[in-house]
Chains A and B, each alone.
Chain A
Amino acid sequence: MLKTNRRNFLAGAATIALLSTSAASMALAADVNLTLMIWDPAQKAGVQMAVDAFQAANPNIAVSLEQVPQDQYYVKLDAALGAGQGPDVMWQSSKASYYVDGGALQPLDDYIARDALSLDGYKQVIANLYNLGGHQYGIPKDFDAWTFVYNATLLEGLGIATPKAEWTWEDMVRIAEEVKAKRTSSSIVPLYYNYSFNNGVASLVHALGGAVIADGQSHMSSPQGIKALEMIKSLQDSELILKVADSTDFNPVNALISGQLAMAETPSWNLSLLSKADAPAGTFGVVHLPAVNGSWANDTNGLSYVMNVNSQHKDESWELIKFLTSDEGSALHAQGGAALPANTNPQALAAFVATNGKLGGLEAALDAASAQSYLRTTTANPKVLAAMPEISSAVMGEFYSGALTAEQAAQRIDDLLNGALR
């Protein structure tokens, strides 16, 4: 009797356990779990704010936000997408074309048409970046703009007038020389100018009226190309910027915050780090890049949200992408700091400016930056990405150390870029 009872009890318990497990899994099945993968920890808070709002509006969809360190982001993506897995929604950059060629990304045309989403509401140049082979694969998230940030407290303490909104390359050199002459310690660096080929040098080429790549050919040996190289090298030779060979570990944002650097060319994605720093309002001021022959040029690029072609929840993923890039989502993201929204609704830019309110002159500097922007060389021509490591190590390194003349460096860059373009 006891035996039977025990057997019955066990059978009953097993049935209840089974039923409850299947009930639980049915309850779970009603909810959709999406994964969203990003790389920048500085932007995580902003993205999370937008994700929270999305979840509040869509209680049946749960979003897990994963931040993977940038160095490992694409390795993880390659492994996961190759195995038919991976996040439902992710960030993509100018490398998107490789993933489109590999068939890993979902074309969004049908969703865009279904919801009548207009891409006119985004920075056109960034939206076009993710239109590959006639299909739209990404909805723009942000775009880059370069500004000049100065430490007003440091400059005023040395009795030097701060840069004016309409300043020029000559003004920049003059102020940097004044800092060098009046600084109280040799550890104060007068200037940080982006010396990399893809950003600083290429921007100067464009500001001088040239182009690094035009008609499928590299033009660094043009007068503008050689002049741009010489202009940055002269900053190093007159000790206004640190020697390039000693700059690899130099962090301009940290140096501005700690009062060890007077002025720095600063990308938009670093501005929130300065505004979040523990410095009183009025410490930092922002102006656009110094004008060269009356113009300046900003290299720009922008990330987008894309969908995994293997996602099991494509409709929900699209809803997430649509919300994150919407006026509301962009404004929330901007409130959390970090990147400059690619959504052109004034509300989004206003949120970014308000969040970084401690940086004086920011709005005017950003307007000026986006007015004179061009698509970054590697963004416009992803093929040349492969040549960049060799250009920076073998050519630019030798050029800045004096082993190559500007003409020789320009010629070698032309050879490398043309080789990659072929």
Chain B
Amino acid sequence: MHAQNQAGWRIYAITTIVGLLILAPFAWMVATGLMTTGQTLMVPPRLIPSPPTLDGVIEVFNRIPFATLLFNTIVVSAGRAIGTLIVCATAAYALAIIKVPGTSAILVGILALIMVPGDIFIVPNFAIIASFRMTDTLVALFLPSVFDVFGVFLLYQFFRGVPRELIEAARLDGASHLRILATIVVPVARSGIVSLAILSVLSEWKDLLWPLVVNRSIDKLTLGPGLALLRGVYTTDWNVVMAAGAMAALPMVVIFLVLQKQFITSFARSGLK
């Protein structure tokens, strides 16, 4: 009993230290966001704003249309998550369940594409979007990323785990592929679907280069590039950038707290983080 208590105490200590290490940069961001520009320039740096001020927060709203950027980010993230799920789920279904001819060759192609950095595709993607006359639109922000090879590969792995018997039984009963996908495969592989949705939303939330390249107007951008516009070339008001950063992170923190249980279960099953 005593040994068990001691072990429990140690785990708490380690958890506390690791938790503080992880939280420290976030706390520093919030603290800097509550300072004046003068306070951020102090040497040695101050960790606690005295007195705290909302100057930085007010300045964020003066310099960028924060509410519009936040709205755009939510719309675009949702669009990307839905689009990615539809494209990846149908593609993964074709590979894992129907096993279309050439599946192995397609999978090798997918693996090869995963290994190529996404930024390489910026110029051709722009050319495609420009030929659709869709630059400077919200759809342009997420359209190229819905064709997500990583998502296809992830769902392929999940769909392979769906018992064949279930699918064969449904086929015998005359169910169409779309119906099997929607009513059998997706519910069984739910944790994979949720993981992919979360990953899509997260990567859209923090995307920087593509929105800046494809869109021109500030009211057609998302939070990532909006925050980048707050950085100067030679000097930066860090309190303003940090206040904006804290406000940009806040919705994700709230979403995580609300859906905590769901997130942890799906990531534990998918083996991703």
- Chain A residues within CB distance 8 Å of chain B: 35, 39-42, 64, 66-70, 72, 75-76, 78-80, 82-85, 187, 251, 253-255, 257-258, 260, 269-270, 273, 278
Contacts and interface: CB of A to CB of B under 8 A. Distances in A.
B127 A82 contact: yes
Contacts of B43: 187, 255, 258, 260
B26 interface: no
Interface string B234-266: 110000000000000000000000000000000
B108 interface: no
Given A41-B231, A42-B235, A83-B123, 13 more contacts: A66-B216, A69-B225, A69-B229, A70-B233, A72-B208, A72-B212, A75-B209, A76-B212, A79-B126, A79-B213, A83-B126, A253-B235, A258-B42
Contacts of A41: 229, 231-233
Contacts, number: 78
A273 B235 contact: yes
15 contacts: A41-B231, A42-B235, A64-B216, A66-B217, A67-B229, A68-B212, A82-B123, A82-B126, A83-B123, A187-B44, A251-B234, A253-B235, A254-B235, A258-B38, A270-B234
B273 to A, nearest CB: 28
Nearest to A253: B235
A199 B241 CA distance: 29
A39 B232 CA distance: 10
Nearest to B231: A69
Interface in B205-236: 208-209, 212-214, 216-217, 225, 228-229, 231-235
The 9 closest A-B pairs by CB, nearest first: A79-B126, A83-B130, A258-B41, A83-B127, A76-B213, A187-B43, A72-B212, A79-B123, A69-B228
A402 B111 CA distance: 45
A83 B131 contact: yes
Contacts of B122: 75, 79
Given A41-B229, A79-B122, A187-B43, A85 B130 contact: yes
A72 B130 contact: no
A42 B232 contact: yes
Contacts of B127: 79, 82-83
Contacts of A64: 216-217
Nearest to B127: A83
A356 B234 CA distance: 17
A64 to B, nearest CB: 8
Contacts of A85: 130, 135
Contacts of A76: 212-213
A82 B213 CA distance: 12
A70 B41 CA distance: 23
A175 to B, nearest CB: 21
Nearest to B125: A79
A40 B234 CA distance: 9
Contact of A269 (B44, B131, B216, B234): B234
Interface string B90-120: 0000000000000000000000000000000
Interface in B172-219: 208-209, 212-214, 216-217
A77 to B, nearest CB: 9
Nearest to A35: B216
A139 B43 CA distance: 43
Contact of B41 (A67, A78, A254, A269): A254
